[in-house]
Amino acid sequence: MTGEAARGRLALPARTVESRVVVVARAQRAEDYDAVLDVLLEAGIRSVELTLTTPGTFDRLPELIERYGDAVDLGVGTVTDGDQLARAIDAGAHYAVTPITSPALVAQATDAGVPIIPGGLTPTELFASWSAGASAVKVFPAGVVGPSYLKDLRGPFPDIVAVPSGGIDLDSAGAWLAAGAVAVSVGGPLLGDAFRGGDLRALRDRAAAFVAAAVPEAA
């Protein structure tokens, strides 16, 4: 089974694919999301993964989707079990991200009509998720292998849709995309100290730089 999953594969949200950048937002508290999301949207970011390491994410998600959902794809990340995934789905997440390889989570999300991006590093892990019907696979931690790893993976798995995550900075983002990534997942190098009271104008400049690197014609 090289491209077709046992169950129907869901496509990633269109804005995520078109923008090619997913911002991983790890805040100290969910109340801090809004100011940062305002700046990210202004800079052209169209996909944000809200992580469950941020307390209160589930409670805030419906409100954030109502406020921002017409302009940005809001996913829920760091999902590690079925209960968390069910809550993310019920709260209206546009997609789900998990750092682990779990065909059961892939099946649960797909059956609910929600795209899912499960994590893995080895060819066996990544292909297991892809074969189970994942919308894309998360190469994690991408920083330990580099963009050439994806080129090697696409030899035996030419149809696999990959989103590298972990250690992606502005310089490497373009290389991963050139290697065939559908999008890059970026955290600290883009967000910097924004969730710790940092300069939001500097955040806007960093986000705009990533947007320009991912979609040069948007610059």
151 is catalytic: no
49 is catalytic: yes
Task: Output the six-digit token pair for 198.
Answer: 């940092």
Catalytic one of 4, 49, 125, 217: 49
Task: Output the six-digit token pair for 172.
Answer: 């490497």
- Whole-angstrom distance, CA of residue 48 vs CA of residue 22: 5
Contact of 82 with 62, CB cutoff 8 Å: no
Catalytic one of 63, 138, 151, 217: 138
Query: Could you tell me the CA-to-CA distances from 60 to 85, 98, 194, 203, 208 in Å, in that order?
Result: 16, 19, 19, 22, 26
Q: Judge residue 175's burial from the number of C-beta atoms within 10 Å of its C-beta, 0-12 exposed, 13-18 middle, 19 or more buried.
A: middle
Residues tagged active-site: 49, 138
